[in-house]
Amino acid sequence: LLMRKLRENTHMEAEIKPNGDVEVEGHLVGQLNGFRFTSDTKGETPEAKAANAAAMKSLAGEIEKRAGRLSASANTDFILARDAVIRWQGDPVAKLSAGDDALKPRIILLADEQLTGPARDSVAARLERWIANHIAIVLKPLVEMSGDQTLEGMARGVGFRLIEALGNIDRREIADDIQGLSQD
């Protein structure tokens, strides 16, 4: 059927299943995870090229819809996995990378070139808002300490080291500094 439609130069229908499977005329051609498409059709055959072209046409609209849904998603639709990947409804959509400030990581979108323009900007903005909110909740003491202008001297130094280590530092490393702090 696929070959006949290709020979007749007929428009081929592509469908994206709820699980991310992408089918062209009932044949599985790949998988859409978040904003990335992985093709199952290998090679340079005319059939593979035609199936991928039909899939790409459908993916453009689907990716735009997903971008809109992600932008309107609740904070509970996102998770930060141990491998620094942000998942939206289970699909990987971004990865965190070190930024200039330990409490403000950079977000690297995991997306194909079909996610462009305003849709890409809205996805990036939503993910940045989510990670800022997530950090503000999970690392609240560190966020407050980083903005505390009343810390001086040794206390400021200890605070800086704690922030840089994201709150996880061996007490022995800062024992002398802690000893030097006043009760206040």
Please tell me the predicted confidence (pLDDT) of residue 10. Answer: 53
Q: Let me know: does 109 contact 57? Beta carbons within 8 Å.
A: no
pTM metric for this prediction: 0.77
Q: Decide: residue 16, CB within 10 A, 0-12 exposed, 13-18 middle, 19+ buried.
A: buried
The pLDDT > 70 percentage for the chain reads 89
Please tell me the predicted confidence (pLDDT) of residue 119. Answer: 95
In angstroms, what CA-CA distances link 68 with 62, 115, 116, 138, 165?
A: 10, 11, 12, 27, 36
Low-confidence ranges of the chain (pLDDT < 50): 1-2, 6-9
Enumerate the H helices of 94-152 as residue ranges.
117-138, 140-146
pLDDT in tens, 63-104: 999 999 999 999 999 999 999 999 999 999 999 999 888 889
Within 10 angstroms of residue 96's Cβ, the number of other Cβ atoms is 17
The three-point CA angle 161-165-170 to 5° equals: 80
